[in-house]
C-alpha cells in the first residue's frame, strides 16, 4: 500500500455535494477475518476494509497458519482451519495501531495449545490491556502484560472455563475478546455490560450457526455463550463503515445545501448514536432504502445542511457513538450555543486522549472549549485557520479536515498517516464531495 501523506492542508470551502461510498466497516472486517479463520470451511468476505488495522489482523492470522486469498474484484477468501487448527506463529504478532485487533486476538489466542506474543505501534503500546487480560486470567488463561499494556505474552495449553463477569464499562472489545475465549471454554461464559455496545460479534457468531443467549433490561445487557463449539464458514457482506461515513454526515450538516448521499452505510443501532445526537442538535438526516445486508442493517443516508444548536449529550449515548466524538466536536463548533459531553472518560484511552487532543486543536483554531475529566464543553463560534496536531489519531485528522467548512483560513494538520488505518482513500472521497484537502508541504 502506498504511504498515506503525514500532513494535510485543508483550504476553506463553502459547500459540498454529491453521492459517495465510504470503505467497509472496520469492526466487522476484523471479526470476519477472525471468525472466518476458526470456522469450518471457507468464508468469503465482500467489501472487506483494506485499511492498515485490518491488514495487520490478516497478517497475524496468516502467521498463525491461516490461508487468506485476495484476487482482484473477488471477495477476500479465508480458509477456516477450525477451532483447533491455528498453529504457533514463528514471530511476534504486530497488530499495528489497532485496539480491536490486539484485544480480540488476545481472546482468540488465550485458549490455544501454543504460546503467543502480541504487540503494536507506539500508540497501541500505551493502551490498557488488563481490561481483557484480567477476566481472561479468571477463565484460566496465563497472560503477562507489560505494566498493563502491550507487549503481551500468552502461555498456551491452559484449559479455559466459563466465567460470569460484570464488565466495568460498556466495551465491545472486552465483550468480544471474552466471547472469543468463551468459544474455547468449558461451560458457559456470561458477560454483563452496564450498557449496550456494538453487537457485531454476536450477530456474526449467530450467522455462523452459534446459539447465544442475549437479554437487555434497561441499560444492562447480558450475553452468554456455551463452549466449546464450532462455527460454519459463510459469505459475509461488510456494509460501509458508519464511523467513516460520520465525517461526511457532519460535513453535510455544516455545508451541503443541496444534500449529500452516502450509500450502503451500516446503521446497526449500537453504532448510530451520532444520528440521535445530531438530530437532537437540529440535523436533517434521512435514512433511505433501509434493508439488511446479511446480519447487519444498512441504509443510504441523505444529509442536508441545517442550523445546528448546542445540546447536553445524554451520557447513555456515549457507547453508541464512541468513535464519533472527534467529529461531533466539530459539529459542536458549528452549532449555536454550547454542546456538553460528559461520561466519556473512555475517550482518553483511544488511539490518543481524544478529549485532550480535540480540546487543543479546537482551541488553536479559536473555538472556546472547556475540558473536564469525562468530557468537553464546546461553544460554537467563528473558526480561524491554523495548525493542529492530530498526534497520529486517524479520526482526529479527518475531523479537522472537515473543519475546513467552518474555518476562514487554511488548517494545517500534522501526523495524518494513520488515516490509512481506517479510511485509506479519504483524500479521494473528500475531493469528490468538494473539500480541498491535500497532502501538506512539510517533510513527511
**Residue among 40, 37, 28, 108 nearest 78 (CA):** 37
Q: CB-based contacts of 355: which residues, under 8 Å, 6+ apart?
A: 344, 347, 348, 371, 375, 376
| Residues in a beta bridge with 343 | none
Q: Are the CB atoms for 366 and 387 separated by under 8 Å? A: no
- Catalytic residue at 241? no
Residue 72 CB neighbours (<10 A): 4
The one catalytic residue in 323, 389, 393, 412 is: 323
Task: List contacts with ligand S3P (CB under 6 A).
Answer: 27, 100, 171-173, 176, 197-198, 322-323, 346
Q: What is the DSSP-derived secondary structure letter of residue 441?
A: S
Largest Cα–Cα distance of the chain, in whole Å?
A: 61
Closest CB 152 distance from ligand S3P, rounded Å = 16
Cell numbers found for residue 48: 472487506
308 vs 329: CA distance, rounded Å: 12
The answer to whether the beta carbons of residues 272 and 242 sit under 8 Å apart is: yes
Query: Please, what is the minimum distance in Å from the beta carbon of residue 134 to ligand S3P?
Result: 15
Q: How far is the CB of 203 from ligand S3P (least distance, A)?
A: 12
For residues 235-248, b (16+ Cβ closer than 10 Å) or e, as one string? ebbbbbbbbbbbbb
Output the smallest distance, CB 104 to ligand S3P, in A: 7
Minimum gap (Å) between residue 392 Cβ and ligand S3P: 15
Nearer to ligand S3P, 119 or 171 (CB): 171
Nearest to ligand S3P of 9, 198 (CB atom):
198
| Residue number, 173 or 268, with CB nearest to ligand S3P | 173
Closer by beta carbon to ligand S3P, 6 or else 171: 171
Considering beta carbons, is residue 172 or 303 the nearer one to ligand S3P?
A: 172
Cβ pair 382, 333 in contact under 8 A: no
In the complex, the smallest distance separating the C-beta of residue 301 from ligand S3P, rounded to whole angstroms, is 20
Asked if residue 265 lies in contact with residue 245, where contact means CB atoms within 8 angstroms, the answer is yes
Q: Which is nearer to ligand S3P, 100 or 379 (CB)?
A: 100
- For 392, other C-beta atoms within 10 Å of its C-beta total 22
| CB closest to ligand S3P, residue no | 27
- Burial (CB < 10 A; 0-12, 13-18, 19+), residue 381, is middle
3-state secondary structure labels for all residues of 30-75: HHHHHHHHCCEEEEEEECCCCCHHHHHHHHHHHHCCCEEECCCCCC
In DSSP notation, 257-304 reads TT-EEEEEEE--TTTTHHHHHHHHTT-EEEEEEEEEETTEEEEEEEEE
Which CB sits closer to ligand S3P, 127 or 234? 127
Q: Cβ of residue 194: shortest distance to ligand S3P, in angstroms?
A: 12
Of 404, 420, 270, the C-alpha closest to 351 is 420
Q: Give Cβ neighbours of residue 327 (< 8 Å, ≥ 6 apart).
A: 246, 247, 249, 250, 274, 395, 398, 399, 402
- Of 330, 342, 397, whose CA–CA distance to 375 is shortest? 342
Using alpha carbons, select from 167, 97, 155 the residue that is nearest to residue 420: 97
Closer residue to ligand S3P in complex, CB, 172/178: 172
**Min separation Cβ 31 and ligand S3P, Å:** 7
Query: Which residues are annotated as catalytic?
Result: 323
Amino acid at each position: 500500500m502506498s504511504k498515506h501523506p503525514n500532513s494535510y492542508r485543508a483550504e476553506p470551502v463553502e459547500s459540498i455535494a454529491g453521492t459517495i461510498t465510504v470503505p467497509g466497516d472496520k469492526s466487522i472486517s476484523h471479526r470476519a477475518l477472525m471468525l472466518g479463520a476458526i470456522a469450518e470451511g471457507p468464508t468469503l468476505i465482500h467489501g472487506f476494509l483494506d485499511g492498515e488495522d485490518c491488514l495487520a489482523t490478516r497478517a497475524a492470522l496468516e502467521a498463525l497458519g491461516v490461508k487468506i486469498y485476495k484476487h482482484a474484484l473477488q471477495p477476500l477468501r479465508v480458509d477456516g482451519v477450525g477451532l483447533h487448527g491455528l498453529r504457533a506463529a514463528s514471530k511476534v504478532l504486530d497488530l499495528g495501531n489497532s485496539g480491536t485487533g490486539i484485544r480480540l486476538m488476545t481472546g482468540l489466542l488465550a485458549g490455544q495449545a501454543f504460546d503467543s506474543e502480541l504487540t503494536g505501534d507506539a500508540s497501541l503500546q500505551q493502551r490498557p490491556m488488563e481490561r481483557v487480560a484480567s477476566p481472561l486470567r479468571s477463565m484460566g488463561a496465563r497472560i503477562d502484560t507489560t505494566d498493563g499494556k502491550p507487549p503481551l505474552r500468552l502461555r498456551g495449553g491452559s484449559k479455559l472455563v466459563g466465567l460470569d463477569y460484570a464488565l466495568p464499562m460498556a466495551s465491545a472489545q472486552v465483550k468480544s475478546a471474552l466471547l472469543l475465549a468463551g468459544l474455547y471454554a468449558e461451560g458457559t461464559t456470561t458477560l454483563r455490560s452496564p450498557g449496550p455496545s456494538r453487537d457485531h460479534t454476536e450477530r456474526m457468531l449467530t450467522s455462523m450457526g452459534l446459539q447465544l443467549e442475549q437479554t437487555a433490561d434497561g441499560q444492562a445487557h447480558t450475553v452468554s455463550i456455551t463452549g466449546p463449539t464450532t462455527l460454519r464458514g459463510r459469505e459475509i457482506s461488510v456494509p460501509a463503515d458508519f464511523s467513516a461515513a460520520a465525517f461526511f454526515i457532519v460535513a453535510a450538516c455544516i455545508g451541503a445545501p443541496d444534500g449529500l448521499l452516502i450509500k450502503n452505510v451500516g446503521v446497526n443501532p449500537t453504532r448510530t448514536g451520532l444520528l440521535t445526537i445530531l438530530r437532537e442538535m437540529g440535523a436533517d438526516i434521512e435514512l433511505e432504502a433501509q434493508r439488511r445486508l446479511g446480519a447487519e442493517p444498512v441504509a443510504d443516508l441523505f444529509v442536508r445542511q441545517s442550523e445546528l444548536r448546542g445540546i447536553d449529550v445524554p451520557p447513555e449515548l456515549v457507547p453508541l457513538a464512541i468513535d464519533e466524538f472527534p467529529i461531533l466536536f466539530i459539529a459542536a463548533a458549528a452549532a449555536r450555543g454550547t454542546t456538553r459531553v460528559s461520561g466519556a472518560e473512555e475517550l482518553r484511552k483511544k488511539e490518543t486522549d481524544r478529549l485532550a487532543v480535540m480540546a487543543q486543536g479546537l482551541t488553536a483554531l479559536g473555538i472556546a472549549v472547556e475540558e473536564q475529566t469525562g468530557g468537553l464543553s464546546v461553544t460554537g463560534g467563528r473558526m480561524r485557520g491554523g495548525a493542529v496536531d492530530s498526534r497520529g489519531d486517524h479520526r482526529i485528522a479527518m475531523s479537522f479536515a472537515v473543519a475546513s467548512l467552518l474555518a476562514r483560513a487554511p488548517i494545517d494538520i500534522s501526523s495524518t498517516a494513520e488515516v490509512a488505518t481506517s479510511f485509506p482513500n479519504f483524500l479521494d472521497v473528500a475531493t469528490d464531495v468538494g473539500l480541498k484537502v491535500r497532502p501538506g508541504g512539510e517533510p513527511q
